[in-house]
Amino acid sequence: MAKYKPVRSGFTSYSLYKLPQIVPFLIVLVVAATADDSDFRSSNSWRSHPSKKLTKPVVLLISSDGFRFGYQFKTETPNIDLLIARGTEAQTGLIPVFPTMTFPNHYSIATGLYPAYHGIIMNKFTDPITGEFFNRNLDPKWWLGEPLWETAVNQGLKAATVFWPGSDVLKGSWTCPKGFCKTPYNVSVPLEERVDTILSYFDLPKSEIPDFMTLYFDEPDLQGHQYGPDDPRITQAVAKVDKMMGRVIKGLKKRNVFGDVHVILLGDHGMVTNCDKKVIYIDDLADWIKVPADWIQAYFPVLAMNPRWGKDVKNPGEKNAELVAKMNEALSSGKVENGEFLQVYLKEKLPKRLHYSESSRIPPIIGMVGEGLMVKQNRTNAQECFGNHGYDNMFFSMRSIFIGHGPRFRRGKKVPSFENVQIYNVVAEILGLRPAPNNGSSLFTRSILLPFGETWEVE
Ligand SMILES: [Zn+2]
């Protein structure tokens, strides 16, 4: 989550401002479910097991923060392997959205929206228009779109969250109910306790078992930031996550529901090494253009700039374009150390595949930083080695995992990699929910899920 120091208390900053939502909400694709939802759910398409406890679809969505695709090969992971063998896996990983940061990605998974549309454009950012600072605030005005827990509750289902960025924001009919919504986020809650909270929901009377649940592990992200992706402590953290998955599986089996629960294990992004000698210094551009530090909101993995031209400048857009041109001239001159690994854009000129322009919260100038490179103002900063993410989602190192296990997922199936904005529709389809407008494709669910009525006997 955090860049240098993992945030120990997290989610602690609250905004006191009250301003209208300003991000234009573009609906790219509306997925229409024509059937009445209640009919949808109660139809005999769901194979009920009279001898088993669950007679309804249940989804347990688990995130392992910073679980880079390939970590599962670092060590023995028997429990993750079991889910892969008996479930459906994104063969070469789950593609995060840009920027490949924790908050934007968890909220894209929950809403099916790209960050420009759900409003959480970075973990921390300053709104260029209002000047307000977002730092994991819980004020609902920041959190646009409709997350799965809200969709579920809106349509009469029950949801429970054992942490997830955004899950403790009160939105619509989602009240973050006591006992079913862990808040505030607290990194010191042991992973075992988180798993056991989820398992305890399966001890409730049938009708009170939540239909949709989230579970969040902050590993291996914490170790990844401190030591980079190739370190024995990452291997240990991966083993720990696998052990937690073993606890989930064992607990569900004990309650005779493992085969009936849709367990989705995924991560929000990957991780790459940052190290000394891989730095671009802004002050090295001074012969071409002077860029003051207070124009820069974030240096890397995304360079975010909001130049302050002053009142005398009539056309700041023109000045921004000149600045971008000068910076790129310097960077491509061959005279700036590592300059070839930074490309600066007016946000509306960013590659379309990034979906990163349609929000007034996104600052006017964005620099795309090469994989593993850092950007700093000058050489006075101490150099070090650690790990980070947030880079272009095209980089393989930013990919995470996706495994789906349960009645609607085919056994031993591999699917091509896909973007995490598809997951909202997948969960909605399993639960028989009418999805809110989102950036996913309604056709995608057909490629990954068995149709109703053809559910797979997992056990
Ligand atoms: Zn992180």
Q: Which of 77, 88, 100, 102 is catalytic?
A: 102
Spatial separation of the C-alpha atoms in residues 304 and 237, rounded to whole Å? 32
pLDDT at 381 > cutoff 70: no
pLDDT at 208: 96
Spatial separation of the C-alpha atoms in residues 216 and 105, rounded to whole Å? 13
Min mean pLDDT across 43-57, 302-316, 327-341, 435-449 is at: 43-57
Q: Please give the helix or strand (H or E) that residue 374 lies within, else none.
A: strand 374-376
pLDDT band at 277 (very low <50, low <70, confident <90, very high): confident
pLDDT at 237: 97
- In the chain, the amino acid numbered 173 is S
pLDDT at 29: 37
Residues with Cβ within 8 Å of residue 259, at least 6 apart in sequence = 52, 406, 407, 457, 458, 459
Mean pLDDT in residue range 130-141: 96
pLDDT at 323 > cutoff 80: yes
The two structure tokens encoding residue 140? 């609902």
> How far apart are the CA of 453 and the centre of ligand 1, in A?
40
Q: Percentage of the chain with pLDDT > 70?
A: 87
> How far apart are the CA of 112 and the centre of ligand 1, in A?
20
pLDDT in tens, 87-126: 999 999 999 999 999 999 999 999 999 999 999 999 999 9
pLDDT band at 52 (very low <50, low <70, confident <90, very high): low
pLDDT in tens, 198-256: 999 999 999 999 999 999 999 999 999 999 999 999 999 999 999 999 999 999 999 99
> How far apart are the CA of 7 and the centre of ligand 1, in A?
10
> How far apart are the CA of 309 and the centre of ligand 1, in A?
33
> How far apart are the CA of 3 and the centre of ligand 1, in A?
7
pLDDT at 384: 75
pTM: 0.85
pLDDT at 453: 74
The two structure tokens encoding residue 122? 């970075």
pLDDT at 380: 76
Mean pLDDT in residue range 158-176: 97
pLDDT in tens, 343-358: 999 999 999 999 999 9
pLDDT at 15 > cutoff 60: no
pLDDT at 129 > cutoff 80: yes
Torsion-angle region of 265 (φ positive above 0: left; ψ -120 to 50: alpha; else: beta)? beta
Judge whether 380 counts as a catalytic residue.
Answer: no
The two structure tokens encoding residue 109? 């998974």
Q: Percentage of the chain with pLDDT > 90?
A: 83
